[in-house]
């Protein structure tokens, strides 16, 4: 089983994915947790390039190809082997981030992005994708608070530096894209406390992947 989490900055993906891993492991599942960008050795180098605040001059196309390169390496070296080994793979962002950030966010052609994603994922599509939905002002506030506590802003602040209108487009993009892919992508309200949000995540897993939890 391959489950991905998506959503705007600070929506709680990292928090919820860790909770889901603990929950599934307590039920005897072997779980592998990963993320994009940066889920492979080479990907970790690409992640630094992609997220560093100093790289604000990356063109939209350069950014796109770096994310796709990260994904191709991640799928080949990490996601596919883990799935073949029988593990449940939980991934913090995947191909839908490219559609939403580079498409709805940067204005690149969605159909082109779909085709390039097909090349990068090489047949490995998630069984279920959960979009955590949140007002961007709340998400950015949560992310900023977290960054000031762990120093992340210094190293990985390129997207936080985007204007609020960019993050609003991203939120709308996720909702539009989810509506176009109802079978695979489910939206969960992420505006309440972590326990309540996890209740929604569990409910989605139980109803859409009944064999898993």
**Sites of contact with ligand Z5A (CB under 6 A):** 7, 9-15, 36-37, 51, 67, 93, 97-98, 101-102, 142-143, 145-146, 156, 159, 193-194, 197
CB of 137 to ligand Z5A, least distance (A): 13
Q: CB of 36: closest distance to ligand Z5A in angstroms?
A: 4
For the CB of residue 210, give the shortest distance to ligand Z5A in the complex, in Å.
Answer: 25
Q: Minimum CB separation from ligand Z5A for residue 84, in Å?
A: 22
Identity of the residue, 28 or 101, whose beta carbon is nearer to ligand Z5A in the bound complex: 101
- Which CB, 81 or 199, lies closer to ligand Z5A? 199
Measured from the CB atom, the residue of 24 and 171 that comes closer to ligand Z5A is: 171
With helix as H, strand as E and coil as C, how does the chain read?
Answer: CEEEEEECCCCCHHHHHHHHHHHHHHCCCCEEEEECCCCCHHHHHHHHHHHCHHHCCCCHHHHHHHHHHHHHHHHHHHHHHHHHCCCEEEEECCHHHHHHHHHHHCCCCHHHHHHHHHHHHCCCCCCEEEEEECCHHHHHHHHHHHHHHHCHHHHHCCCCCCCHHHHHHHHHHHHHHHHHCCCCEEEEECCCCHHHHHHHHHHHHHHHCCCCC
Output 60 or 85, the one with its CB closest to ligand Z5A.
60
């Amino acid at each position: 089983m391959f489950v991905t989490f998506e959503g705007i900055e600070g929506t709680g993906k990292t928090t919820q994915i860790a909770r889901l891993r603990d929950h599934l492991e307590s039920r005897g599942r072997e779980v592998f947790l990963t993320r994009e960008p940066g889920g492979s050795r080479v990907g970790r180098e690409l992640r630094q390039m992609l997220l560093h605040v100093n790289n604000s001059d990356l063109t939209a196309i350069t950014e796109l190809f770096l994310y796709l390169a990260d994904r191709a390496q991640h799928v080949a070296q990490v996601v596919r082997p883990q799935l073949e080994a029988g593990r449940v793979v939980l991934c913090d962002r995947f191909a839908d981030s490219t559609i939403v950030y580079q498409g709805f966010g940067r204005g690149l052609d969605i159909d082109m992005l779909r085709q390039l994603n097909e090349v990068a994922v090489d047949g490995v599509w998630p069984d279920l994708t959960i979009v955590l939905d949140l007002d961007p002002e709340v998400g950015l506030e949560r992310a900023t608070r977290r960054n000031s506590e762990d120093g992340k802003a210094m190293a990985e602040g390129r997207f936080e530096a985007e204007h609020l209108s960019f993050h609003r487009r991203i939120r709308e993009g996720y909702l539009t894209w989810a509506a176009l892919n109802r079978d695979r992508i489910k939206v969960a309200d992420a505006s309440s406390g972590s326990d309540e949000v996890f209740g929604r995540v569990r409910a989605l897993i139980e109803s859409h992947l009944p064999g898993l939890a």
